Structure 1
Amino acid sequence: MAAAQGRLSDDAGGMDEAKGTGEAERHKDAATPLPFRAAVEALRAARLRPQIEVEPTPAPKRLAPYSYALEAAVVDGEQELADGRLVLLHDPDGHDAWRGTFRLVTLVRAELEPEMAADPLLPDVCWSWLTGALQARGLAFGEPSGTVTRVSSHHFGGLSARPASSQIEIRASWTPREGPGGIPETAAHLASWCDLLAQVAGLPPAGPGDASVVTLPQRRGPQSR
Protein backbone atom coordinates (compact mmCIF):
# COMPACT_ATOMS: atom_id res chain seq x y z
CA MET A 1 0.00 0.00 0.00
CA ALA A 2 1.43 3.38 -0.99
CA ALA A 3 -0.15 5.29 1.87
CA ALA A 4 0.55 8.92 2.68
CA GLN A 5 4.12 9.40 3.83
CA GLY A 6 3.91 13.09 4.75
CA ARG A 7 4.86 14.23 8.23
CA LEU A 8 2.11 14.70 10.80
CA SER A 9 1.71 16.73 13.96
CA ASP A 10 -1.13 17.21 16.39
CA ASP A 11 -2.42 20.25 14.58
CA ALA A 12 -1.44 19.08 11.28
CA GLY A 13 3.81 18.42 11.39
CA GLY A 14 6.55 15.69 12.92
CA MET A 15 6.09 12.04 12.84
CA ASP A 16 8.63 9.79 14.50
CA GLU A 17 8.10 6.07 14.20
CA ALA A 18 8.13 3.75 17.21
CA LYS A 19 8.41 -0.01 17.09
CA GLY A 20 8.39 -2.28 20.15
CA THR A 21 9.17 -5.97 20.16
CA GLY A 22 9.54 -8.93 22.46
CA GLU A 23 9.38 -8.80 26.25
CA ALA A 24 9.67 -5.00 26.42
CA GLU A 25 6.60 -4.64 24.22
CA ARG A 26 4.58 -7.05 26.37
CA HIS A 27 5.45 -5.06 29.52
CA LYS A 28 4.47 -1.86 27.71
CA ASP A 29 1.10 -3.34 26.76
CA ALA A 30 0.43 -4.36 30.36
CA ALA A 31 1.07 -0.79 31.53
CA THR A 32 -1.09 0.80 28.85
CA PRO A 33 -4.23 2.50 30.25
CA LEU A 34 -7.46 0.55 29.74
CA PRO A 35 -9.25 3.40 27.86
CA PHE A 36 -6.46 3.51 25.28
CA ARG A 37 -6.37 -0.27 24.90
CA ALA A 38 -10.14 -0.33 24.40
CA ALA A 39 -9.98 2.53 21.89
CA VAL A 40 -7.31 0.70 19.86
CA GLU A 41 -9.21 -2.60 19.94
CA ALA A 42 -12.26 -0.81 18.57
CA LEU A 43 -10.17 0.49 15.68
CA ARG A 44 -8.86 -3.00 14.94
CA ALA A 45 -12.36 -4.50 14.96
CA ALA A 46 -14.02 -1.85 12.79
CA ARG A 47 -15.71 -3.06 9.58
CA LEU A 48 -15.15 -0.75 6.62
CA ARG A 49 -16.24 -0.49 3.00
CA PRO A 50 -14.31 -2.95 0.78
CA GLN A 51 -12.72 -0.34 -1.52
CA ILE A 52 -10.61 0.95 1.38
CA GLU A 53 -7.57 -1.06 2.43
CA VAL A 54 -6.47 -0.32 6.02
CA GLU A 55 -3.47 -1.63 7.93
CA PRO A 56 -1.45 -0.64 11.03
CA THR A 57 1.65 1.49 10.59
CA PRO A 58 4.37 2.64 13.02
CA ALA A 59 2.98 5.36 15.29
CA PRO A 60 4.59 8.63 16.43
CA LYS A 61 6.22 8.45 19.86
CA ARG A 62 6.75 12.10 20.76
CA LEU A 63 3.28 13.61 20.35
CA ALA A 64 1.69 11.83 23.31
CA PRO A 65 2.49 9.12 25.89
CA TYR A 66 0.40 6.60 23.90
CA SER A 67 -0.30 6.43 20.18
CA TYR A 68 -1.58 4.09 17.49
CA ALA A 69 -1.58 4.64 13.73
CA LEU A 70 -3.29 3.29 10.63
CA GLU A 71 -2.68 3.91 6.96
CA ALA A 72 -5.28 3.44 4.26
CA ALA A 73 -5.68 3.53 0.49
CA VAL A 74 -8.81 3.76 -1.62
CA VAL A 75 -8.35 1.21 -4.39
CA ASP A 76 -10.30 0.62 -7.60
CA GLY A 77 -8.83 -2.45 -9.29
CA GLU A 78 -5.12 -1.66 -9.57
CA GLN A 79 -5.71 2.08 -9.37
CA GLU A 80 -5.12 3.94 -6.12
CA LEU A 81 -7.49 6.90 -5.88
CA ALA A 82 -6.53 8.36 -2.50
CA ASP A 83 -4.47 7.52 0.55
CA GLY A 84 -4.04 8.68 4.11
CA ARG A 85 -2.90 8.10 7.64
CA LEU A 86 -4.89 8.30 10.88
CA VAL A 87 -3.19 8.54 14.29
CA LEU A 88 -4.85 8.10 17.68
CA LEU A 89 -3.08 9.94 20.52
CA HIS A 90 -3.75 9.54 24.26
CA ASP A 91 -2.51 11.46 27.27
CA PRO A 92 -4.13 10.17 30.51
CA ASP A 93 -3.36 13.51 32.22
CA GLY A 94 -5.24 15.45 29.57
CA HIS A 95 -3.96 18.11 27.18
CA ASP A 96 -4.96 21.78 27.34
CA ALA A 97 -4.96 22.24 23.56
CA TRP A 98 -7.03 19.09 23.01
CA ARG A 99 -9.50 19.76 25.84
CA GLY A 100 -9.53 16.03 26.42
CA THR A 101 -7.30 12.98 26.81
CA PHE A 102 -7.58 11.70 23.21
CA ARG A 103 -6.77 13.30 19.88
CA LEU A 104 -7.11 12.09 16.27
CA VAL A 105 -4.64 13.36 13.66
CA THR A 106 -4.87 12.75 9.92
CA LEU A 107 -3.21 13.28 6.58
CA VAL A 108 -5.32 12.59 3.46
CA ARG A 109 -4.31 13.15 -0.16
CA ALA A 110 -5.61 12.45 -3.65
CA GLU A 111 -4.96 13.35 -7.27
CA LEU A 112 -7.39 15.79 -8.90
CA GLU A 113 -8.46 16.80 -12.35
CA PRO A 114 -6.70 20.16 -13.07
CA GLU A 115 -10.00 21.97 -13.61
CA MET A 116 -11.27 20.77 -10.24
CA ALA A 117 -8.05 21.90 -8.56
CA ALA A 118 -8.60 25.39 -10.00
CA ASP A 119 -11.92 25.82 -8.20
CA PRO A 120 -11.38 28.60 -5.61
CA LEU A 121 -13.91 26.98 -3.26
CA LEU A 122 -12.15 23.60 -3.22
CA PRO A 123 -10.31 24.07 0.13
CA ASP A 124 -13.51 25.10 1.90
CA VAL A 125 -15.39 22.17 0.36
CA CYS A 126 -12.73 19.66 1.42
CA TRP A 127 -12.71 20.97 4.99
CA SER A 128 -16.50 20.72 5.09
CA TRP A 129 -16.18 17.08 3.99
CA LEU A 130 -14.12 16.34 7.11
CA THR A 131 -16.49 17.97 9.58
CA GLY A 132 -19.52 16.77 7.62
CA ALA A 133 -18.33 13.15 7.71
CA LEU A 134 -18.15 13.31 11.52
CA GLN A 135 -21.51 15.05 11.85
CA ALA A 136 -23.21 12.61 9.45
CA ARG A 137 -22.48 9.77 11.89
CA GLY A 138 -23.66 11.80 14.88
CA LEU A 139 -20.21 11.98 16.44
CA ALA A 140 -19.38 14.54 19.11
CA PHE A 141 -15.98 16.18 18.63
CA GLY A 142 -14.20 19.39 19.53
CA GLU A 143 -11.23 21.64 18.77
CA PRO A 144 -10.97 20.82 15.03
CA SER A 145 -7.85 22.24 13.40
CA GLY A 146 -6.10 21.78 10.07
CA THR A 147 -5.11 22.90 6.61
CA VAL A 148 -6.13 22.07 3.05
CA THR A 149 -3.39 22.36 0.42
CA ARG A 150 -3.57 21.95 -3.35
CA VAL A 151 -0.52 21.53 -5.57
CA SER A 152 -0.33 21.62 -9.37
CA SER A 153 2.60 20.23 -11.38
CA HIS A 154 3.44 21.10 -14.99
CA HIS A 155 6.19 19.32 -16.90
CA PHE A 156 8.71 20.78 -19.37
CA GLY A 157 11.62 19.76 -21.57
CA GLY A 158 12.28 16.04 -21.42
CA LEU A 159 9.19 15.60 -19.25
CA SER A 160 6.84 17.63 -21.43
CA ALA A 161 4.98 14.51 -22.59
CA ARG A 162 3.62 14.02 -19.09
CA PRO A 163 0.19 15.54 -18.48
CA ALA A 164 -0.24 18.24 -15.85
CA SER A 165 -1.24 16.88 -12.46
CA SER A 166 -2.87 18.30 -9.34
CA GLN A 167 -3.16 17.00 -5.80
CA ILE A 168 -5.24 17.90 -2.76
CA GLU A 169 -3.91 17.32 0.75
CA ILE A 170 -5.86 17.57 4.01
CA ARG A 171 -4.03 17.73 7.33
CA ALA A 172 -6.28 17.89 10.35
CA SER A 173 -6.81 16.96 13.97
CA TRP A 174 -9.79 16.87 16.32
CA THR A 175 -10.74 15.71 19.81
CA PRO A 176 -13.20 12.79 19.96
CA ARG A 177 -15.57 13.16 22.89
CA GLU A 178 -15.18 10.43 25.49
CA GLY A 179 -18.01 8.12 26.43
CA PRO A 180 -18.46 5.73 29.39
CA GLY A 181 -15.16 4.79 30.99
CA GLY A 182 -13.43 7.67 29.22
CA ILE A 183 -13.41 5.77 25.91
CA PRO A 184 -14.19 7.59 22.63
CA GLU A 185 -16.10 5.94 19.76
CA THR A 186 -12.96 5.29 17.76
CA ALA A 187 -14.54 2.76 15.39
CA ALA A 188 -17.15 5.32 14.34
CA HIS A 189 -14.47 8.00 13.94
CA LEU A 190 -12.50 5.61 11.74
CA ALA A 191 -15.60 4.97 9.63
CA SER A 192 -16.11 8.73 9.27
CA TRP A 193 -12.48 9.13 8.25
CA CYS A 194 -12.98 6.44 5.61
CA ASP A 195 -16.06 8.35 4.41
CA LEU A 196 -13.77 11.35 3.93
CA LEU A 197 -11.24 9.23 2.02
CA ALA A 198 -14.01 7.92 -0.22
CA GLN A 199 -15.30 11.43 -0.95
CA VAL A 200 -11.84 12.74 -1.79
CA ALA A 201 -11.31 9.71 -4.05
CA GLY A 202 -14.55 10.38 -5.93
CA LEU A 203 -16.33 7.19 -4.87
CA PRO A 204 -20.15 7.16 -4.82
CA PRO A 205 -21.86 7.44 -1.41
CA ALA A 206 -21.79 4.29 0.70
CA GLY A 207 -25.52 4.30 1.52
CA PRO A 208 -28.88 6.01 0.95
CA GLY A 209 -28.28 8.38 3.82
CA ASP A 210 -25.29 9.84 2.01
CA ALA A 211 -27.05 10.46 -1.29
CA SER A 212 -26.65 14.24 -1.01
CA VAL A 213 -22.85 14.09 -0.74
CA VAL A 214 -20.97 15.89 -3.51
CA THR A 215 -18.00 13.87 -4.76
CA LEU A 216 -15.02 14.58 -6.93
CA PRO A 217 -14.93 13.07 -10.44
CA GLN A 218 -13.15 9.76 -10.93
CA ARG A 219 -9.42 9.96 -11.67
CA ARG A 220 -8.11 9.63 -15.18
CA GLY A 221 -5.89 6.60 -14.85
CA PRO A 222 -3.30 4.80 -12.73
CA GLN A 223 -1.46 7.10 -10.33
CA SER A 224 2.29 7.10 -9.90
CA ARG A 225 3.28 7.48 -6.26
Structure 2
Amino acid sequence: MAAVQGHLSNGADGPDGTEAGGEDTPPAFRHAVAALSGVRVRPEVELDPTPPPRRLAPYSYALEAVVTGASDDEELAEGRLILLHDPAGHDSWRGTFRLVTLVHADLEPEIAADPLLPEVCWSWLTGALEARGLPYGQPSGTVTRASSHYFGAMGEREPSTRIEIRASWTPAAHPAPEPARAGPRRPESVEEGAGEPLGVPDTAGHLAAWCDLLCQIAGLPPAGAAEAGVVSLPQRRGPQAR
Protein backbone atom coordinates (compact mmCIF):
# COMPACT_ATOMS: atom_id res chain seq x y z
CA MET A 1 0.00 0.00 0.00
CA ALA A 2 1.08 3.55 -0.69
CA ALA A 3 0.79 6.44 1.73
CA VAL A 4 -1.39 9.42 0.92
CA GLN A 5 1.54 11.65 1.77
CA GLY A 6 2.72 13.37 -1.37
CA HIS A 7 -0.80 13.55 -2.77
CA LEU A 8 -2.06 15.97 -0.12
CA SER A 9 -1.31 19.56 0.74
CA ASN A 10 -2.62 21.84 3.47
CA GLY A 11 -4.41 23.96 0.93
CA ALA A 12 -7.85 24.10 2.46
CA ASP A 13 -9.08 27.65 2.78
CA GLY A 14 -11.06 29.20 5.59
CA PRO A 15 -13.74 31.86 5.16
CA ASP A 16 -11.10 34.57 4.85
CA GLY A 17 -8.78 32.66 2.53
CA THR A 18 -6.46 31.37 5.25
CA GLU A 19 -4.76 28.01 4.65
CA ALA A 20 -5.51 24.90 6.69
CA GLY A 21 -2.18 25.32 8.48
CA GLY A 22 -2.55 29.07 8.99
CA GLU A 23 -2.69 30.75 12.38
CA ASP A 24 -6.30 31.85 11.88
CA THR A 25 -7.53 28.31 11.21
CA PRO A 26 -8.96 26.41 14.21
CA PRO A 27 -6.43 23.92 15.65
CA ALA A 28 -9.04 21.15 15.51
CA PHE A 29 -9.46 21.60 11.76
CA ARG A 30 -5.69 21.82 11.18
CA HIS A 31 -5.23 18.53 13.00
CA ALA A 32 -8.10 16.87 11.15
CA VAL A 33 -6.57 17.81 7.79
CA ALA A 34 -3.00 16.92 8.80
CA ALA A 35 -4.10 13.44 9.90
CA LEU A 36 -5.12 12.64 6.31
CA SER A 37 -1.50 12.70 5.11
CA GLY A 38 -0.61 9.52 7.03
CA VAL A 39 -3.27 7.30 5.46
CA ARG A 40 -1.98 4.35 3.45
CA VAL A 41 -4.07 3.35 0.44
CA ARG A 42 -4.02 0.60 -2.14
CA PRO A 43 -1.87 1.30 -5.22
CA GLU A 44 -4.99 1.27 -7.40
CA VAL A 45 -6.28 4.37 -5.59
CA GLU A 46 -4.95 7.74 -6.71
CA LEU A 47 -5.70 10.62 -4.33
CA ASP A 48 -5.25 14.33 -4.94
CA PRO A 49 -6.43 17.50 -3.19
CA THR A 50 -9.03 19.53 -5.04
CA PRO A 51 -10.58 22.96 -4.39
CA PRO A 52 -13.29 22.56 -1.74
CA PRO A 53 -16.71 24.23 -1.79
CA ARG A 54 -16.78 27.49 0.16
CA ARG A 55 -20.45 27.83 1.11
CA LEU A 56 -21.14 24.60 2.96
CA ALA A 57 -19.15 25.45 6.10
CA PRO A 58 -16.68 28.04 7.40
CA TYR A 59 -13.80 25.59 6.82
CA SER A 60 -13.54 22.81 4.27
CA TYR A 61 -11.01 20.49 2.65
CA ALA A 62 -11.56 18.19 -0.33
CA LEU A 63 -9.95 15.19 -1.97
CA GLU A 64 -10.68 13.52 -5.27
CA ALA A 65 -9.83 9.90 -6.04
CA VAL A 66 -9.68 7.56 -9.01
CA VAL A 67 -9.47 3.77 -8.85
CA THR A 68 -7.59 2.37 -11.83
CA GLY A 69 -7.36 -1.14 -13.19
CA ALA A 70 -4.48 -3.03 -14.74
CA SER A 71 -4.04 -0.21 -17.23
CA ASP A 72 -3.78 3.43 -16.19
CA ASP A 73 -6.36 4.18 -18.90
CA GLU A 74 -8.93 1.94 -17.20
CA GLU A 75 -10.77 4.01 -14.59
CA LEU A 76 -13.03 1.74 -12.54
CA ALA A 77 -14.44 4.28 -10.10
CA GLU A 78 -13.98 7.87 -9.00
CA GLY A 79 -15.18 10.07 -6.22
CA ARG A 80 -14.79 13.15 -4.07
CA LEU A 81 -14.60 13.43 -0.28
CA ILE A 82 -15.15 16.76 1.50
CA LEU A 83 -14.33 17.49 5.13
CA LEU A 84 -16.43 20.30 6.60
CA HIS A 85 -15.88 22.09 9.91
CA ASP A 86 -17.99 24.61 11.76
CA PRO A 87 -16.47 25.48 15.17
CA ALA A 88 -19.86 26.71 16.38
CA GLY A 89 -21.48 23.38 15.59
CA HIS A 90 -24.36 22.60 13.25
CA ASP A 91 -27.82 21.45 14.34
CA SER A 92 -28.35 19.03 11.46
CA TRP A 93 -24.84 17.59 11.83
CA ARG A 94 -25.07 17.10 15.60
CA GLY A 95 -21.38 18.00 15.74
CA THR A 96 -18.69 20.34 14.45
CA PHE A 97 -17.41 18.12 11.60
CA ARG A 98 -19.19 16.60 8.61
CA LEU A 99 -18.02 14.38 5.75
CA VAL A 100 -19.67 14.62 2.33
CA THR A 101 -18.99 12.32 -0.60
CA LEU A 102 -19.88 11.62 -4.21
CA VAL A 103 -18.81 8.26 -5.66
CA HIS A 104 -19.68 6.76 -9.04
CA ALA A 105 -18.70 3.92 -11.35
CA ASP A 106 -19.86 2.19 -14.53
CA LEU A 107 -21.34 -1.27 -14.08
CA GLU A 108 -21.83 -4.35 -16.19
CA PRO A 109 -25.47 -4.63 -17.44
CA GLU A 110 -26.20 -7.88 -15.59
CA ILE A 111 -24.98 -6.37 -12.31
CA ALA A 112 -26.84 -3.11 -12.81
CA ALA A 113 -30.12 -5.00 -13.28
CA ASP A 114 -30.09 -6.31 -9.71
CA PRO A 115 -33.18 -4.77 -8.00
CA LEU A 116 -31.36 -4.75 -4.64
CA LEU A 117 -28.34 -2.86 -5.97
CA PRO A 118 -29.18 0.50 -4.30
CA GLU A 119 -29.56 -1.13 -0.87
CA VAL A 120 -26.33 -3.07 -1.36
CA CYS A 121 -24.42 0.04 -2.40
CA TRP A 122 -25.62 1.95 0.67
CA SER A 123 -24.53 -0.98 2.85
CA TRP A 124 -21.02 -0.67 1.38
CA LEU A 125 -20.71 2.79 2.90
CA THR A 126 -22.03 1.93 6.34
CA GLY A 127 -20.24 -1.42 6.27
CA ALA A 128 -16.90 0.21 5.44
CA LEU A 129 -17.24 2.55 8.43
CA GLU A 130 -18.35 -0.20 10.79
CA ALA A 131 -15.67 -2.64 9.61
CA ARG A 132 -13.03 -0.15 10.76
CA GLY A 133 -14.80 0.52 14.05
CA LEU A 134 -15.56 4.16 13.25
CA PRO A 135 -18.45 5.69 15.20
CA TYR A 136 -20.62 8.08 13.20
CA GLY A 137 -24.05 9.66 13.25
CA GLN A 138 -26.71 11.40 11.15
CA PRO A 139 -26.05 9.45 7.91
CA SER A 140 -27.93 10.71 4.87
CA GLY A 141 -27.71 10.13 1.16
CA THR A 142 -28.99 8.73 -2.13
CA VAL A 143 -28.04 5.91 -4.47
CA THR A 144 -28.83 6.59 -8.12
CA ARG A 145 -28.74 4.08 -10.97
CA ALA A 146 -28.74 5.60 -14.48
CA SER A 147 -28.84 3.56 -17.70
CA SER A 148 -27.88 4.84 -21.16
CA HIS A 149 -28.91 3.32 -24.48
CA TYR A 150 -27.40 4.60 -27.71
CA PHE A 151 -29.11 5.13 -31.07
CA GLY A 152 -28.41 6.44 -34.56
CA ALA A 153 -24.77 7.25 -35.18
CA MET A 154 -24.00 6.07 -31.63
CA GLY A 155 -25.94 2.82 -31.99
CA GLU A 156 -22.82 0.66 -32.03
CA ARG A 157 -22.08 1.49 -28.41
CA GLU A 158 -23.03 -1.03 -25.77
CA PRO A 159 -25.66 0.08 -23.24
CA SER A 160 -24.06 1.39 -20.06
CA THR A 161 -25.20 1.86 -16.49
CA ARG A 162 -23.68 4.17 -13.89
CA ILE A 163 -24.18 3.90 -10.15
CA GLU A 164 -23.77 7.03 -8.04
CA ILE A 165 -23.63 7.35 -4.26
CA ARG A 166 -24.14 10.76 -2.66
CA ALA A 167 -23.82 10.69 1.11
CA SER A 168 -22.88 12.61 4.21
CA TRP A 169 -22.32 11.65 7.83
CA THR A 170 -21.00 13.09 11.08
CA PRO A 171 -17.76 11.45 12.26
CA ALA A 172 -17.72 11.07 16.04
CA ALA A 173 -14.93 12.88 17.86
CA HIS A 174 -12.25 11.18 19.93
CA PRO A 175 -13.69 10.69 23.42
CA ALA A 176 -12.31 13.11 25.96
CA PRO A 177 -10.56 11.66 29.04
CA GLU A 178 -11.97 12.37 32.46
CA PRO A 179 -10.80 15.86 33.47
CA ALA A 180 -8.47 16.15 36.44
CA ARG A 181 -10.61 18.95 37.85
CA ALA A 182 -14.11 20.16 37.28
CA GLY A 183 -14.73 22.80 34.69
CA PRO A 184 -16.26 23.28 31.25
CA ARG A 185 -14.33 22.11 28.22
CA ARG A 186 -14.95 23.25 24.65
CA PRO A 187 -15.60 20.13 22.53
CA GLU A 188 -13.68 21.48 19.55
CA SER A 189 -10.56 22.49 21.49
CA VAL A 190 -7.17 20.80 21.31
CA GLU A 191 -5.10 20.51 24.45
CA GLU A 192 -1.55 21.78 24.18
CA GLY A 193 0.94 18.94 24.45
CA ALA A 194 -1.74 16.27 24.60
CA GLY A 195 -1.16 13.11 22.62
CA GLU A 196 -4.81 12.80 21.61
CA PRO A 197 -6.77 15.87 20.47
CA LEU A 198 -10.17 16.59 21.89
CA GLY A 199 -13.20 17.07 19.69
CA VAL A 200 -11.40 15.90 16.53
CA PRO A 201 -12.70 12.82 14.66
CA ASP A 202 -10.49 10.08 13.29
CA THR A 203 -10.33 11.59 9.81
CA ALA A 204 -7.58 9.17 8.78
CA GLY A 205 -9.82 6.22 9.57
CA HIS A 206 -12.76 7.73 7.71
CA LEU A 207 -10.59 8.38 4.64
CA ALA A 208 -9.39 4.77 4.72
CA ALA A 209 -13.00 3.53 4.97
CA TRP A 210 -13.97 5.78 2.07
CA CYS A 211 -11.18 4.24 -0.02
CA ASP A 212 -12.57 0.82 0.92
CA LEU A 213 -15.93 1.95 -0.49
CA LEU A 214 -14.25 3.10 -3.72
CA CYS A 215 -12.52 -0.26 -4.10
CA GLN A 216 -15.78 -2.12 -3.57
CA ILE A 217 -17.73 -0.12 -6.12
CA ALA A 218 -14.80 -0.60 -8.53
CA GLY A 219 -14.94 -4.38 -8.08
CA LEU A 220 -11.77 -4.55 -5.98
CA PRO A 221 -12.91 -5.70 -2.51
CA PRO A 222 -10.71 -4.38 0.30
CA ALA A 223 -8.81 -6.70 2.61
CA GLY A 224 -11.05 -8.05 5.33
CA ALA A 225 -14.28 -7.49 3.38
CA ALA A 226 -15.21 -11.16 3.52
CA GLU A 227 -14.74 -11.30 7.28
CA ALA A 228 -16.92 -8.20 7.69
CA GLY A 229 -19.71 -9.73 5.61
CA VAL A 230 -19.51 -7.02 2.96
CA VAL A 231 -20.80 -7.89 -0.52
CA SER A 232 -18.76 -6.56 -3.43
CA LEU A 233 -19.13 -6.44 -7.17
CA PRO A 234 -17.18 -8.85 -9.37
CA GLN A 235 -14.27 -7.26 -11.20
CA ARG A 236 -14.96 -5.49 -14.46
CA ARG A 237 -14.38 -7.41 -17.68
CA GLY A 238 -12.80 -4.29 -19.12
CA PRO A 239 -13.56 -0.66 -19.95
CA GLN A 240 -16.66 -0.14 -22.07
CA ALA A 241 -16.55 1.73 -25.34
CA ARG A 242 -17.54 5.36 -25.00
TM-score relative to the length of structure 2: 0.79
Aligned partner of 1:5 in structure 2 is none
Distance 1:36 1:224, change over 3 A: farther
Q: CA deviation at 1:19?
A: 7.8
> Contact 1:81–1:223 at 8 Å: present in 2 too?
no
2:199 to 175, 182, 202: 182
Aligned partner of 1:83 in structure 2 is 78
Aligned partner of 2:67 in structure 1 is 74
Residue 31 of structure 1 aligns to a residue in which SS? Answer: coil
Q: CA deviation at 1:223?
A: 5.3
- The answer to whether residue 197 in structure 2 is matched with residue 197 in structure 1 is no
> Contact 2:12–2:19 at 8 Å: present in 1 too?
no
> Contact 1:154–1:165 at 8 Å: present in 2 too?
yes
1:110 to 105, 108, 112: 105
Unpaired stretches in structure 2, ≥5 consecutive residues: 1-10, 175-196
Unpaired stretches in structure 1, ≥5 consecutive residues: 1-17
* Higher helix proportion (structure 1 or 2): 1
- The answer to whether residue 26 in structure 2 is matched with residue 33 in structure 1 is yes
> Aligned residue pairs: how many?
205
1:126 to 102, 117, 121: 121
Aligned partner of 1:164 in structure 2 is 159
CA deviation digits over 1:13-52, x for unaligned, max 9? Answer: xxxxx986xxx64698210000100000011221111110
Q: CA deviation at 1:88?
A: 0.1
Q: CA deviation at 1:210?
A: 4.3
Q: CA deviation at 1:215?
A: 1.4
For 1:206 and 1:89, locate their aligned partners in 2 and report how far apart those are by CA, in whole Å: 28
Q: Which has the higher contact order (CA 8 A, sep 6+)?
A: 1
Aligned partner of 2:145 in structure 1 is 150
For 1:208 and 1:144, locate their aligned partners in 2 and report how far apart those are by CA, in whole Å: 21
Rg larger in 1 or in 2? 2
> Contact 1:90–1:103 at 8 Å: present in 2 too?
yes
Aligned partner of 2:185 in structure 1 is none
Matching residue's letter, 1:37: R
TM-score relative to the length of structure 1: 0.85
CA deviation digits over 1:35-87, x for unaligned, max 9? Answer: 10000001122111111010100001000000000000111122110000000
Q: CA deviation at 1:117?
A: 1.0
